[in-house]
Amino acid sequence: MAQLLFQNARVVDPSQNLDTVCDVLCRENQIAQIGQGLCADSATVINASGLVLAPGLVDLHVHLRDPGFTEKEDVLSGCKAAAAGGVTTLCAMPNTRPACDTPETVRYVLEQAKQADARVLPVAAITKGLCGEELTDMEALAQSGACAFSDDGVPVATAAFMARALKESARLRRPIFAHTEDRSLSAGGIINEGKWSARFGVGGIPNAAEDAGTAREIALLMNAPKGAHLHICHVSTVGSAALIADAKAKGLSVTAETCPHYFIYDEDKLETRDADYRMNPPLRSAQDRKAIEQALLNGTIDVIATDHAPHTPTEKQDFLKAPNGVIGMETSFSASYTALVATGKLSLSELIQRMSCRPAEILGVGGGTLRIGERADLILIDEKERWTVNTDRLHGKSRNCVFKGCSLRSKVKMTVLDGRIVYNELF
């Protein structure tokens, strides 16, 4: 019987309000014991003195590009990147080729993930081909293993389809992940509508595009059946944050995520015309950046996700023509720690809550906890380590990293998935 015994770790688990130095024993794929002076004759003993042991991270927003775009990423390579960043569970978005809009494609993703270094939960499409013209068979997709539904990559084309999706959300008990954007307002835009779009003479994406999309989805949720759950993806504007806060105050079942680049960077990163800083939604104004950080700190935004979106170096060479998207799973924890914990804005426990416990709660499929009897998904973190992001040493296929060259604080040193060590920098 495989066993891992972690000794003298600082165990941080917000799901149990736990922050103490002790031992953790994993037997087979479960947390077996937590306490002082544990021993197990046949266990592999890991000296975790000076390290933090926490639940594995849960990333609600990842593009694995598989099937169809495996030159950018595939399930196995994406999960290697996940493990290196401490992500033990991830949600794979459906904008693949073919789109994840049939039970067969859901099963393909799950089959590919059987030998992967992270748990992959497919998010299935709301409309066939993400075209906004015909609803998928959401019940069949749920039965085949879809954890949620989204047309991410594009917004759901009409309010009528989104209203039907929210109705199915209530019936099937699966959340709807919403890419909130009014494309009649953002059409032709490649960066934030602001000083740099004006200076470069390129189309801009206004805040109003995201705000109008967010307002539409919240209005539809207000009229949806009880049990419908709306999750707003990659929030980037002060207006969307305010709309979400108001919806929560009204008691609506809405949650939200943002990504590290939205609370760390603003549109001034575009001055170099480097396409690695282009994504959708785009980097916004300094005012938006501050508002997103505040919304994350006060709980309006529940979750830090990555929107990990790999592209090849060739695709990212041309600033004007490059596709949107940045990778992020290997840097998300350290970047967030550097910006929020090292500056005293959040405690380590509060960061783990936003990157592990809360996203697991939203999905409702386990994880995000070290409770005895739960699966042994955990990470070891060295808070004292400082490291510089070298894209040549990343574990995925692509290099379009928004934190390239940055000096970050805190580092994931080991990742354990189902009691199995899948990433190890300790020995």
Mind telling me the catalytic residues? 307
The answer to whether 276 and 259 have CB atoms below 8 angstroms apart is no
For 205, the enclosing helix (H) or strand (E) is strand 204-205
Rg (CA), the chain: 21
Q: Read out DSSP for 45-62?
A: EEE-TT-EEEEPEEEEEE
Helix, coil or strand: residue 285: coil
The residue among 235, 231, 212, 358 whose CA lies nearest residue 292 is 235
The residue among 213, 400, 237, 385 whose CA lies nearest residue 325 is 400
Amino acid letter, 188: G
Helix, coil or strand: residue 78: helix
DSSP assigned state of 147: -
Euclidean distance between the first and the last CA atom of the chain, given in angstroms as a whole number: 22
The residue among 370, 351, 361 whose CA lies nearest residue 412 is 351
The answer to whether 58 and 121 have CB atoms below 8 angstroms apart is no
